Amino acid sequence: MSPARFDNRPIGVFDSGIGGLTVAAALRRALPNEDIFYLGDTERVPYGNKSPESIIRFARQDVAFLMRKGVKTVVAACNTVSSVAMEALHKSYPGLPILGVIEAGVDAALAAEAERITVIGTRATVNSDSYRRALHAVNPGLIVETLACPLLVPLAEEGVCDDPVTFHVFDLYLSELRRNPSDILVLGCTHYPVFRKALEHYFGGGLRIIDSANACAEMVKKYLAENSFGASPRKKGISRFFMTDLPSNIQESAGRFLGEEAGRVEKVSLDV
Amino acid sequence: MSPARFDNRPIGVFDSGIGGLTVAAALRRALPNEDIFYLGDTERVPYGNKSPESIIRFARQDVAFLMRKGVKTVVAACNTVSSVAMEALHKSYPGLPILGVIEAGVDAALAAEAERITVIGTRATVNSDSYRRALHAVNPGLIVETLACPLLVPLAEEGVCDDPVTFHVFDLYLSELRRNPSDILVLGCTHYPVFRKALEHYFGGGLRIIDSANACAEMVKKYLAENSFGASPRKKGISRFFMTDLPSNIQESAGRFLGEEAGRVEKVSLDV
């Protein structure tokens, strides 16, 4: 085997803030040899309650930053961006492979051979109708419901993941689904894996939960293998974390999504 | 009286988003002859969980925008900005009178002659220690407590103002205060007046609630009168609303804070 078959450039991962760290953590587990450069646009977080026009502009700036850092591929670790901005990103950066989380979640949901699928996400993700369109493109007979849960992102950011407040917020959005559960619940927001246990408790095992972070990591792994794009197996991958703002509680919050200490976080500007 | 004693230029009001519309509404009631130009930086909302450095940069851009619109004075209708950025704003724009909401809330709290005062606000407002310093500057003997309630802004933005969720979030932050109430609770965030009734219910009349929106409007009225800076009493004031982003639910959310239909909202960019 020739060493030319390896590509040791980093994988770029970005999100509106720190929610995408659940994807970075899944990538780290799945791809121990890869360098991972993570960008969180914490200065403008959240994206999910903003207009498609603004989300597309922000996402272009995020990708441009990662390209300047020399990445070989970019993962949009944000369902809002993946729902609203992928077409615009592919047009703006035609030479760069950009992968989104929606595709991964959709593939995992389809693999489960369910009849009725519920997707929860931000208002922008649900308004975009991206999950329903992607699922129906493969199987038009599926029953697909999408529910916007805009308070779950702030709850996750504040670490209120298993409190009476958490369950009352579930009641706001999901009480009807609990009475009449579908086969599968897709967590259509990279913040939501922190609620997995609480959601399992809330639904009492009545439906299967699919987490797009793990599905996304598997998709990236497969993509790198198929395109001979992976790092050398003799290399130990490092992670770097870039954020556009460093509020006082950033280390604590980042650690919650990453599942371990984030280490050094570098403050960066997206201005060229 | 000479007509030169009137100044018909608009009053500029700004906030990170739509919470400051509670101040705009109070100004409209108190000053029916004044034109009010409101800027909401909805593209970067919220400010309250960001770093002082970012908040100062955002606030400078907000004030610069209003100056380009020809305002005679600016009201920072945001406790986070008033707590963190006032000194920087006064230095950057020495010729422009810039008034904040903190001063108004502090004056109202002092006028009530309380011994123990609790202030609730965003994390940035509480970290800044601005209320305690301002209160102790006048009366060092006061007992002042400040409590960060970061989930209240998203609840207000989502209109979850009188739901079981609302009261459970109060429990997260305010249960100790309910057991041992102070004399006065200052609503140190322009989003919070939408919770006034729910808070009165929660505390069962056990403490007096001071709303900085009304206090701020009175302060501005007094300032204009003392400086012969007011609009002609024969003029009917108009309101204009500028926002940096127009998400899908902006009319509904803006109406909730304004207490009436916002009418036309103009999308603007802060780039020069």
- Tell me the pLDDT tens digit for each residue of B61-71: 999 999 999 99
Are residues A151 and B155, on separate chains, in Cβ contact within 8 Å? yes
Are residues B150 and A158, on separate chains, in Cβ contact within 8 Å? yes
B161 catalytic? Reply is no
> What domains sit in chain B, N to C, each tagged with a CATH number?
11-100+214-267 (3.40.50.1860), 103-212 (3.40.50.1860)
In this model, does residue B2 exceed pLDDT 50? Answer: no
B165 → closest Cβ in A50, A172, A248: A172
User: Which residues in chain B are contacts of A50 at CB distance < 8 A?
Assistant: 42-43, 245, 247
Encode A104-129: b = buried (16+ Cβ within 10 Å), e = exposed.
bbbbbbbeeebeebbbbbbbbbbbbe
Q: Per DSSP, what are the bridge partners of residue B209? A: B185
Kindly state the DSSP code that residue A177 receives in the 8-state scheme: H
CA angle A43, A45, A48 (to 5 degrees): 155
Catalytic residue among B78, B149, B161, B216: B78
- Residue B227 tokens, joined: 């400086």
Are residues A165 and B169, on separate chains, in Cβ contact within 8 Å? yes
Residues A171-199, mean pLDDT to the nearest whole number: 96
pLDDT for the residue B4: 54
pLDDT for the residue A272: 72
pLDDT for the residue B205: 82
Are residues B51 and A163, on separate chains, in Cβ contact within 8 Å? no
Q: Which residues of chain A are at the B interface, by a Cβ-Cβ cutoff of 8 Å?
A: 42-44, 49-51, 53-54, 123-124, 127, 150-151, 153-155, 157-158, 160, 163-165, 168-169, 171-172, 245-249
A154 → closest Cβ in B54, B124, B154: B154
CA separation (Å) from A171 to A177, A203, B172?
A: 9, 11, 18
Encode B135-169: b = buried (16+ Cβ within 10 Å), e = exposed.
beeeeeebebbbebbbbbbbbbbbebbebebbbbb
**Structure confidence by residue, pLDDT tens digits, B83-128:** 999 999 999 999 999 999 999 999 999 999 899 999 999 999 999 9
Question: Strand runs (DSSP E) across A10-72, as ranges?
Answer: 11-15, 36-40
Residues B9-36, mean pLDDT to the nearest whole number: 97
| Whole-complex ipTM | 0.91
Kindly state the DSSP code that residue A4 receives in the 8-state scheme: G
Q: In angstroms, rounded to a whole number, what is the distance separating the alpha carbons of residues B55 and B129?
A: 16
Mutate which of A18, A42, A49, A53 to test chain B, going by most B C-beta atoms within 10 A? A49
| Residue B34 C-alpha, separation from nearest chain A C-alpha, in angstroms | 31
Q: Between residues B81 and A262, which one has the greater pLDDT?
A: B81
User: Which residues in chain A are contacts of B160 at CB distance < 8 A?
Assistant: 151, 172
**Structure confidence by residue, pLDDT tens digits, B169-228:** 999 999 999 999 999 999 999 999 999 999 999 999 889 999 888 899 999 999 999 998
A165 → closest Cβ in B123, B172, B248: B172
A247 → closest Cβ in B42, B50, B153: B50
| Residue B125 C-alpha, separation from nearest chain A C-alpha, in angstroms | 12
In this model, does residue A3 exceed pLDDT 70? Answer: no
A164 → closest Cβ in B43, B150, B168: B168
Q: What is chain A's alpha carbon radius of gyration, rounded to the nearest angstrom?
A: 18
Residues A116-133, mean pLDDT to the nearest whole number: 96
Three-state DSSP at A265 gives strand
User: Which residues in chain A are contacts of B154 at CB distance < 8 A?
Assistant: 150-151, 153-154
Three-state DSSP at A121 gives strand
Nearest residue of chain A to residue B244 (CA atoms): A54
User: Which residues in chain A are contacts of B247 at CB distance < 8 A?
Assistant: 49-51, 123-124
In the predicted model, what is the mean pLDDT of chain A? Answer: 95
B216 catalytic? Reply is no
User: Which residues in chain A are contacts of B43 at CB distance < 8 A?
Assistant: 44, 50, 54
User: For helices A21-30 and A212-226, what crossing angle results, to 10°?
Assistant: 50
